[in-house]
Structure 1
Amino acid sequence: MSSRRLLVALMAMALAVLAGCSEPSEPMTPTYKTKLSAEEMKNSAFKAEFPLQYETYLRNNESQIMTEYGGSVPYNKNDNVNPLPEGYKHAQPYLKNLWLGYPFSYEYRAARGHTYAVKDILHIDRLNNYSEKAGLPSTCWNCKTPKMMEWVKENGDDFWAKDFHEFRQKLDVDDHTIGCANCHEPQTMELRLYSEPLKDYLKSQNKEFKNLSRNEKRALVCGQCHVEYYFQDKEFGAAKKPVFPWANGFDPEDMFEYYKTHGNTTTKGFEGNFVDWVHPVSKTPMLKAQHPEYETWINGVHGSAGVTCADCHMSYVRLDGKKKMSTHHWTSPLKDPDLRACRQCHTDKTPDYLRQRVLFTQNKVWEQLMVAQDISVKAHEAIRMAAEYTGPKPADYDDLMIEARQMCRKGQFFWDLVSAENSVGFHNPTKALNTLAQSQQYSQKAVDVAIRAAAFTTAKDLDGDIKKIVPPILKHSRELQMDPAHMATHKWFKYIPLLPKAPRVWDGQTRLIPPPAPAAAPAS
């Protein structure tokens, strides 16, 4: 071959290589054909087919490892007084105050992990285990078990409004907790959705899960549960069915505006709003945020760059000398001393540098979260004082009280969106800090307007440290609410009823007292 021909051939090869580098193809995912039934839901059934993945999945049983701001120990998230496992230094002391009158005020613990989802919900005090009725609908099973697919198939949309207790003995606490079948088709192991509310959302957007990119699928499989949601009022469809409030967008203002038009309340000034409960102290119609990881991540620096949940929380590992695979130990990358998940991309940074950057963000967000929490408590107290004010009132008193409650509702919801999100702001630092700044402004506006409604007579009593004006409620539960002595320990308790003494009916899946006898048939 002449030198000229050789040069042309080499150039052609170089161009081919450059073309290949400039247009990378999406990596091909493995294909499988298992021996499992298409209806398989037991986690243990997947062990024989995928022993290495199952081995990493069992690591979710670890429940004693902490990071600086979280971890797996199920401490009370309002207790910053007692040490682990009862409390923790980075707890939020006003949670029981802010959720008073709502089941979250009875018990709210740090999650131990996906493998404990069924065990923990069966024992949580948010469910009324002292009654034949749980006080919460079957919707609460939605993010706890793949059995949802079976139950919805059997019951249709009637499932959601059924009582939670009806299903507590119809599953295995280990084999039917969150696991393989929540994310994978058992026969092919392709990613799938089991979540009815996410299916509904995609349908509303004229999208089909099977047509989405691999990256979108990897994020949405986690986004089945790590989202904000609410239980729909019957006027809008199936009663208590979970719905994602994303029609207007994923930001706090988008969701707050959505809730203004998707409820059935008739309270003056809140007509048509969706309301989770009415705070008994301020009489404010409230929203309870869930855990909006997906909405927080989606337009943050990682979400915008196409880095998905699985990239960080299911990083690649090698076991037994085999080819790399995604770990199924779903946990914080910060638990790994080497921060291997982060260093898949940040190859030029040391683990110590990366850890300090995460903590820098979390420290700043936590500081503002505590400020927003305090002002939200002050808003409820200011409205309470204004509602009980008996002196001469401004001509626009009623309008001022509505405005104060609207700002209180909005301020607490914005605080709660960051409080309930499980990254302490790291999934989207800009959004987290902006949301908390807005929360503080709305809650302070509630305080200011309530003071005006009381003809400025309450300003002096509200001046100063809120923790002295309204102490945090450290302990409160359903059983304690049956005790008159406990109910005399905090001035806000007079706004909730003393519960009648009642024996405990349920302990996990065990009934402690016999069920009531069936009603006698009417005489013919």
Structure 2
Amino acid sequence: MKDTLSLRTVRGMVRRGAMLLAVSIVPFVLAGCSDVTELKTPVFKTKIAAEETRSSAFKAEFPQQYASYQRNDESTVMTEFNGSVPFNKNDNVDPLPEGYKHAQPYLKNLWLGYPFSYEYRNARGHTKALEDFLHIDRINTYAEKGGLPATCWNCKTPKMMGWVKQYGDDFWAKDVNEFRDKIDMKDETIGCANCHDPQTMELRLYSEPLKDQLKAQGKDWDKLSRNDKRSLVCGQCHVEYYFQDKEKGVAKKPVFPWADGYDPQQMYTYYKTAGNSQMKGFEGNFVDWTHPVSKTPMIKAQHPEYEMWQNGVHGAAGVSCADCHMGYTRTDDKKKISGHWWTSPLKDPDMRACRQCHSDKSPDYLRSRVLFSQQKTFDQLLKAQDLSVKAHEAVRLASEFQGAKPANYDELMIQARDMVRKGQFFWDYVSAENSVGFHNPAKALDTLASSQQYSQQAVDLASEATGFAISKDLAGDIHKIVPPILKHSRKLQQDPEHMKTHQWFKYLPTLPKADKVWDGQKKLVSAAQ
């Protein structure tokens, strides 16, 4: 008995000793974590002018970061689903560089009547942003005026700060082509000054829309954590936004639709009262354009990376955009700096950005998990896209139906168009977001499932409005009923023969013959000529 009690006593002493040791260690552990969280960045006082917008001006004092930034020039490296080759995003027929196997074939159908239907290419690096912007067919280069507001410059250059200072809120509604030749295309593209104060190198906002949004949320930029700032500087542009109607405030000024939340349903609810639509059933809705085939008032999603990320597994855990897309690197002299090649971690064979946290996993394993999520998302993206096209076609058939109609025909058609609008917006929320769902797999798949449900409801409501007479016309493969539009541009829309090549083109006007007025920044002829 004595031996047993003695053993118990020893065990108790060991346990109590271990507990005391653990308690004594905790303050040191917590202090260590606190120290890591509160690490201060170096303090700089540069010789760069306060209003400098040229990235080359930062080279002398920050040569290693600048060299890293120049890697954004690469335009040949692909991942499985994306990359820097500027292929046509609707072309899954031709090989790179014109098309790619993971393109979505119905983009031109779904955006018909809107500038996005003319050209939508995979993005190159940030250093190519101005060059690509000035050559994109979405801006009308066959006239003096581009037909889009100056707002389009907002996410392309730090010159925005000077223009807003010069013109105030009158800037946004000016024509985009007015500033075409007022910028250094190579040196004033997205760069250092978009994120850093030139004199202190502190992170800063140049975006007026994000400043407005933070103010509306009662947030003070100077009081935000550095980690929040490291994502919000990316969130200046990698977000959903719209150009405000003049009845709601400053005409064409970008606004983030975050008042009700970051998810597509919350944004869709917001858009119902954010505009000046007079269309019956959509009064007060915000509308980007009306689809010419279904006569539906549409919303074009932009690129909601910030909204997708922030309540995904990484965003919710406090992993910033910079942690993954600006992973630390070692210079030749062994100095540790943030990489300024803003790109996918998948382009690194060693997956170093991911392995900063997932050090117990191999690069092959980590890559396989990303591709697994992306493939599941892309499969559902194509299904949602097909159903959205079918919804437009169903409403078209119902609107042109000449047979007996039910008493509630008009109400059914309003509901059908609302479901067309909602289904396409939910699809576009995922389609326009550049991670192919990886930033938030659960949200991406849920959004696409909802998109499919809404689009199918549109088909059902349109069919009901005709006493189901059009159901037989919608049975079968939608790719045969409404073929994808592979080729379409402003120039092609000037050709009457081209306008006979697709059944949906009859809902568009043939454009008058015209020669190019602009080639990049070069003016070829005057509009009068």
Q: TM-score range by the shorter chain?
A: over 0.9
- Counterparts of 1:309-388 in structure 2, within 5 Å, are 309-388=321-400
Q: 1:466 to 1:16 in 2, by over 3 A?
A: closer
In 2: Cα distance, 1:295 partner to 1:430 partner: 13
Instruction: Give the counterpart letter for 1:372 in structure 2.
Output: A
In 1: Cα distance, 2:274 partner to 2:455 partner: 23
The reply on whether 1:400 has 2:400 as its aligned counterpart is: no
Structure 1 residue 321 displacement after superposition: 2.1
Match of 1:5 in 2: none
Match of 1:275 in 2: 287
Indicate which of 32, 56, 75 corresponds to 2:44: 32
Q: 1:16 to 1:246 in 2, by over 3 A?
A: closer
In 1: Cα distance, 2:106 partner to 2:509 partner: 20
Partner SS state of residue 362, structure 1: helix
Would the aligned equivalents of 2:143 and 2:527 in 1 still touch at CA under 8 Å? no
Partner SS state of residue 222, structure 1: coil
The reply on whether 1:445 has 2:468 as its aligned counterpart is: no
TM-score normalised by structure 2 residue count: 0.95
The reply on whether 1:169 has 2:184 as its aligned counterpart is: no
In 1: Cα distance, 2:346 partner to 2:432 partner: 19
Instruction: Give the counterpart letter for 1:462 in structure 2.
Output: L
Per-residue CA shift, 1:319-339, capped at 9, x if unaligned?
112321101000000000000
- Counterparts of 1:67-106 in structure 2, within 5 Å, are 67-106=79-118
Match of 1:7 in 2: none
Structure 1 residue 455 displacement after superposition: 1.4
The reply on whether 1:17 has 2:8 as its aligned counterpart is: no
- Counterparts of 1:410-425 in structure 2, within 5 Å, are 410-425=422-437
Structure 1 residue 516 displacement after superposition: 4.6
Indicate which of 249, 265, 269 corresponds to 1:237: 249
Structure 1 residue 14 displacement after superposition: 5.2
Indicate which of 151, 157, 160 corresponds to 1:145: 157
Structure 1 residue 16 displacement after superposition: 5.6
Per-residue CA shift, 1:209-241, capped at 9, x if unaligned?
111001110000000000000000001111000
Structure 1 residue 21 displacement after superposition: 3.5
The reply on whether 1:123 has 2:129 as its aligned counterpart is: no
Structure 1 residue 12 displacement after superposition: 11
Structure 1 residue 190 displacement after superposition: 0.1
In 1: Cα distance, 2:235 partner to 2:33 partner: 31
Match of 2:511 in 1: 499
Partner SS state of residue 56, structure 2: helix
The reply on whether 1:262 has 2:289 as its aligned counterpart is: no
In 1: Cα distance, 2:375 partner to 2:75 partner: 24
The reply on whether 1:435 has 2:442 as its aligned counterpart is: no
Q: 1:144 to 1:400 in 2, by over 3 A?
A: same
The reply on whether 1:457 has 2:466 as its aligned counterpart is: no
Match of 1:4 in 2: none
The 10-residue stretch of structure 1 (52-61 or 21-30) with the greater mean CA deviation from structure 2: 21-30
Q: 1:286 to 1:16 in 2, by over 3 A?
A: closer
Match of 2:230 in 1: 218
In 2: Cα distance, 1:11 partner to 1:499 partner: 77
In 2: Cα distance, 1:204 partner to 1:372 partner: 34
Structure 1 residue 515 displacement after superposition: 5.8
Instruction: Give the counterpart letter for 1:387 in structure 2.
Output: S
Instruction: Give the counterpart letter for 1:52 in structure 2.
Output: Q
Instruction: Give the counterpart letter for 2:137 in structure 1.
Output: D
Structure 1 residue 49 displacement after superposition: 0.6
In 1: Cα distance, 2:283 partner to 2:22 partner: 72
In 2: Cα distance, 1:369 partner to 1:333 partner: 23
The reply on whether 1:426 has 2:438 as its aligned counterpart is: yes
The reply on whether 1:292 has 2:304 as its aligned counterpart is: yes
Q: 1:418 to 1:11 in 2, by over 3 A?
A: closer
Partner SS state of residue 233, structure 2: helix
Partner SS state of residue 297, structure 2: strand
Match of 2:8 in 1: none
The reply on whether 1:305 has 2:305 as its aligned counterpart is: no
In 2: Cα distance, 1:362 partner to 1:197 partner: 31
In 1: Cα distance, 2:32 partner to 2:507 partner: 67
Gaps of 5+ in 2: 1-20
Per-residue CA shift, 1:82-125, capped at 9, x if unaligned?
01000000000000000000000000000011001110110000
Instruction: Give the counterpart letter for 1:407 in structure 2.
Output: M
Match of 1:472 in 2: 484
The 10-residue stretch of structure 1 (10-19 or 129-138) with the greater mean CA deviation from structure 2: 10-19
Per-residue CA shift, 1:395-414, capped at 9, x if unaligned?
10000000000000000000
Instruction: Give the counterpart letter for 1:418 in structure 2.
Output: V
Partner SS state of residue 317, structure 1: strand
Q: Which runs of 4+ in 1 moved over 2 A?
A: 10-25, 514-517
Match of 1:521 in 2: none
Indicate which of 102, 111, 116 corresponds to 2:123: 111
Would the aligned equivalents of 2:329 and 2:336 in 1 still touch at CA under 8 Å? yes
Per-residue CA shift, 1:406-463, capped at 9, x if unaligned?
0000000000000000000000000000000000000000000000111111101101
In 2: Cα distance, 1:107 partner to 1:252 partner: 25
Match of 2:9 in 1: none
Structure 1 residue 304 displacement after superposition: 0.3
In 1: Cα distance, 2:523 partner to 2:412 partner: 50
**How many pairs does the alignment contain?**
509
Per-residue CA shift, 1:491-522, capped at 9, x if unaligned?
000000000001100000000103659xxxxx
TM-score normalised by structure 1 residue count: 0.95
Instruction: Give the counterpart letter for 1:102 in structure 2.
Output: Y
Q: 1:419 to 1:18 in 2, by over 3 A?
A: closer
Would the aligned equivalents of 2:144 and 2:526 in 1 still touch at CA under 8 Å? no
Per-residue CA shift, 1:121-170, capped at 9, x if unaligned?
10000000001110100000000000000000000000000001100100
Partner SS state of residue 358, structure 2: coil
Q: 1:12 to 1:271 in 2, by over 3 A?
A: closer
In 1: Cα distance, 2:319 partner to 2:261 partner: 20
Partner SS state of residue 484, structure 1: coil
Instruction: Give the counterpart letter for 1:166 in structure 2.
Output: E
Q: 1:213 to 1:392 in 2, by over 3 A?
A: same
Indicate which of 157, 166, 174 corresponds to 1:154: 166
Partner SS state of residue 290, structure 2: strand
